[in-house]
Amino acid sequence: MEQMRVFITGGAGFIGCNLAAHYLKQGHVVTLFDNLSRPRTELNLRWLQEQAGAAQLCFVRGDIRDYPFLLEAVTQAQPELIVHLAAQVAVTTSVKNPREDFEINALGTFNVLEAARAQPNPPAVFYASTNKVYGGMEDVATVLDGTRYRYRDLPHGVSEVQPLDLHSPYGCSKGAGDQYVRDYARIYGLRTVVFRQSCIYGERQFGVEDQGWVAHFIIAAAFNRPITIYGDGKQVRDLLHVQDLIAAYEAAWARLDQVSGQVFNLGGGAENALSIWAEFGPMLEMLAGRPIPVRYADWRPGDQPVFISNNRKAERLLNWRPRISAQEGIRRLWAWVTSNPELFH
């Protein structure tokens, strides 16, 4: 395989470090660009540095809001691919500080695109968008069916033709980035792909209450920390393991000429959907071998009763589908958390 140069913004985060490890194993040269603002990202950076030498892995501590610094880093790295993962990731944080959210997610994404466009041989840009760009989807009928909500009329989930409806500052800022990345392919011929991602989880995810709920529940259960369920616990999400996400990125890179300018929904799909506590809770109690107490609180504003990604476009154009079942992925994450307690204290 020919060696490639990859530049990953947010490269010390959960998805970023897993993606970097994947590229390093393949012998590619990786530049990580990260401001290390999220808790425990230093642990992920150290983990990566133990796997690769300085010639193969370069770390640049920087902020995507600082355009001159970002431009210099991209120019130095001369990547063939930029994977843009750096973001403000929580709806709750965006509501408290919408300006910071805008500057990181909207302006930061614009800066990444401009840094790419400024290169003599512009790299491709992959953008991690979110299912939150579809908003609350109040016009999509849902019904309560036993332990879970489900779509009344969408058995395969939500497709890319669902209208954008940007709720919350987070939805607006990520949606702005989503549309800019898509449009830079049309207007400037930049090779870009947008991935509207749904509930990514896996090893090296240090989940907290308002972001990364699968890991947050597992970490809390493993170490007897409190868990709050907002709503009735029957709201449904489709889980996509990070290794399956990486496989989708690889499939898009392999078909870049065909899929440049495209948007893909990427989630676990209907077969990997489960309700966040009515079904996930018993699985967790089985792994822990004991009951797990939780407290309930009111629904949070804008919380969708169900989100399931329709992956058929990705299946058709990328020849991709999730391979790791939710049950298997949850077992793996539980095993990783419980075998690395020193990372969580």
* Active-site residue, from 23, 151, 170, 180: 170
CA distance 318 to 98: 35
CA distance 144 to 147: 8
Q: What is the DSSP string of 33-68?
A: EE---STTHHHHHHHHHTTS-TTTEEEEE--TT-HH
Rg of the Cα trace of the chain? 19
Strands (E), 160-202: 192-197, 200-201
CA distance 21 to 11: 10
Q: Name the token pair of 271.
A: 């077969």
Q: Name the token pair of 30.
A: 């990786």
Q: Is 170 a catalytic residue?
A: yes
Among 120, 97, 110, which residue's Cα sits nearest to residue 64? 110
Contact yes or no for 83/123 (Cβ under 8 A): no
Contact yes or no for 238/279 (Cβ under 8 A): no
CA distance 220 to 207: 10
The residues carrying an active-site annotation are 170
